[in-house]
């Protein structure tokens, strides 16, 4: 299981003075397309970023945080190179 690089959903970038870096990227995620069936092994998608990641949920349910773990109006902040991903019980599904 894998998903597309989130940067393809970038709708606005705030450039910095340093070439190749940004102060902020604003991204809008559509529902994820699952290209596998229920019998396919889907390893967790833990990852680290070279930039801080601030994420907010406007509507719906985030597939890595279910059962009230991340509700609309909620947000999370992951600092540079801090590993993060789905909750353990989501992985166990």
The answer to whether 89 is a known catalytic residue is no
The answer to whether 3 is a known catalytic residue is yes
Q: Are 44 and 86 in contact (CB under 8 A)?
A: yes
CA atoms within 13 A on the CB side of 88: 0
Contacts of 10 (CB under 8 A, 6+ apart): 25, 26, 27
The single residue of 53, 61, 89, 92 carrying the catalytic annotation is: 53
Q: Are 12 and 1 in contact (CB under 8 A)?
A: no
For 68, phi and psi rounded to 5 degrees?
Answer: 85, 5
The single residue of 18, 84, 89, 92 carrying the catalytic annotation is: 84
Tokens of 61: 């349910």
The single residue of 18, 19, 78, 92 carrying the catalytic annotation is: 78
The answer to whether 53 is a known catalytic residue is yes
Q: Show which residues are catalytic.
A: 3, 47, 53, 78, 84
């Amino acid at each position: 299981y894998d998903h597309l690089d989130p940067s393809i959903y970038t709708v606005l970038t705030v450039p910095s003075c340093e070439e190749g870096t940004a102060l902020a990227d604003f991204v809008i995620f559509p529902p994820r397309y699952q290209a596998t069936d229920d019998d396919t092994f889907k390893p967790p998608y833990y990852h680290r970023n070279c930039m801080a990641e601030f994420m907010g949920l406007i509507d719906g349910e985030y597939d890595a945080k279910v059962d009230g773990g991340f509700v609309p109006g909620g947000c999370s902040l992951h600092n540079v190179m801090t590993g993060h991903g789905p909750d353990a019980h989501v992985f166990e599904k």
